[in-house]
Amino acid sequence: MAGESLAAVGRAGRNGSAVLEARSGAAIRRQGNSPPRRGDTIGAATQGLTITQPGSRRHSSVRATHAALVRPACDRGGSAAGARQACGASPWRRAGRSAGPARPLPPAGAGESGRAQSRGRPRPPCYHLPVSRIHLQQSEAIVLRRHDYGEADRILTLFSRDRGKIRAIAKGVRRIASRKSGHIELFTRCRLLLAKGRNLEVVTQAEMLDAYPALRDDLVRTAYAYHLAELTDRLTAEESPVPGIFQLLADMLAALCQADDPSLVARFFEVRLLGLAGYRPQLFHCALCRVQLAEEGNHFSPSAGGALCPDCGRRAGDALPLDPGAFRVLRYLQTRDWSAAGALRLSPATRGALERLTAAYLQQILERDLSSMGFLRGLRASAGSLGLSAVPADPDPAPAAASEGR
């Protein structure tokens, strides 16, 4: 029957009618004055058969495609029906035209061998590969660090609200025509669309939320902003989200833009970050004997993790004398929010004592010096020649004459 074959050959008769010759020998005539064209589908009577000219490239490709779809499954021991079901409907049905249900594919070599096989063409295997999907995730992040990579790329260290610290690559941002370069500058808060890469996240889209422009107009504020970013990078682990740290960093970057004393912002950030990261110093009880501390005569031990009473301080090898004014300020910063702590006015002696205590404690935890602290010391040493009057002084240890609040 003509319905049992998939490929058919159309030829024009003498009277102009078309004859559809099936492999089984049966013929179906199509009435009309014009012969059928290649690719035409004869109605439902032929059950979706496509007419091709004998010897044409289309005629050969039909049989070659049929052999490529069915034969690999048969060679592996499967049935021809299973191969037809796995490979889907007939691939040579003309797109966009419905000609009834798809007919099953006969096995290759039924009736006659395909021309592709006789010409020695290899049969391509029928592969079913999984479709890869790109996973995108939107995240709000602050740019902590960046360094150039390759000719036009940059690798960014980001701290996001929902994912913590992550590393991502921004491709092509160093080109002049890049649209993302202005949105992922240092210390900017931005909304990013990240794609999962092999080793790094890939920045596919960026939108700047807050640029903190005052940090770029003042070298001193820029140095303290770098100090905040470096501390966040050193004290946090990758893919460990801590929403409190993200909010603290965003608030302190905004405070740096307006504060009259940038060093007070840095000390507040250090004390609160140590608490959120799990390194909160003990300031109300002795770190060794747990006795309640008075305001005077105490010491501070970085290895013990906080303040010591006079007796324990004399026995500790690394104990530092704790200035009463600096001790009160540390307690105040640890228990008050920024709206209250930002109103403090510190003397240069108290400011210097606070910086030495926090620097010693951070060095004990990180086991290394912070490069931002070294840059601030160099900036302070050359403040006179550079005309940077806003850099806080770092005097020698002395009793503080501070006007700080309790």
Rounded CA gap, 186 and 188, in Å? 6
Adjacency order of strands within the sheet including 7-12: 27-30, 18-21, 7-12, 50-52
pLDDT at position 392 is 55
Residue spans of the domains in the chain: they are 2-118, 130-211, 213-406
Rounded CA gap, 35 and 194, in Å? 58
The yes-or-no answer to whether 130-211 and 213-406 have a common fold is: no
pLDDT at position 126 is 54
What number of helices (H) and strands (E) belong to the chain?
Answer: 13, 12
Annotate 309-324 with DSSP letters as a single string. -HHHHHH-TT-EE--H
Long-range Cβ contacts of 163-166 (<8 Å, 24+ apart): 163/139, 163/239, 163/241, 164/236, 164/237, 164/238, 164/239, 164/240, 164/241, 164/242, 165/232, 165/233, 165/236, 165/237, 165/238, 165/239, 165/240, 166/139, 166/141, 166/194, 166/201, 166/238, 166/239
pLDDT at position 229 is 96
Tell me the residue type at 72: P
CATH code for the part of the protein at 130-211: 2.40.50.140
CB 253 within 8 A of CB 281: no
Rounded CA gap, 87 and 65, in Å? 11
User: What is each CA distance from 187 to 165, 172, 199, 244, 367, in whole angstroms?
Assistant: 14, 20, 24, 17, 25
Query: How much is the pTM?
Result: 0.65
Per-residue tens of pLDDT for the chain, all 406 residues: 444 333 444 444 444 434 444 343 334 444 444 555 544 444 433 444 444 445 555 444 444 444 444 444 444 444 445 544 444 444 444 444 444 555 555 555 554 555 545 455 666 655 555 555 668 899 999 999 999 999 999 999 999 999 999 999 999 999 998 989 889 999 999 999 999 888 899 999 999 999 999 998 889 999 999 999 999 999 999 989 999 999 999 999 999 999 999 999 999 999 999 999 999 999 999 999 999 999 888 999 999 999 999 999 988 888 999 999 999 999 999 999 999 999 999 999 999 999 999 999 999 999 998 999 989 988 888 875 555 555 554 544 333 333 444 3
CATH 1.10.3720.10 matches 213-406 = no
pLDDT at position 125 is 59
Identify which of 188, 277, 189 has the alpha carbon closest to the alpha carbon of residue 236.
277
Residues contacting residue 355 through CB under 8 Å, at least 6 positions apart: 263, 267, 394
C-alpha Rg value of the chain to the nearest Å = 39
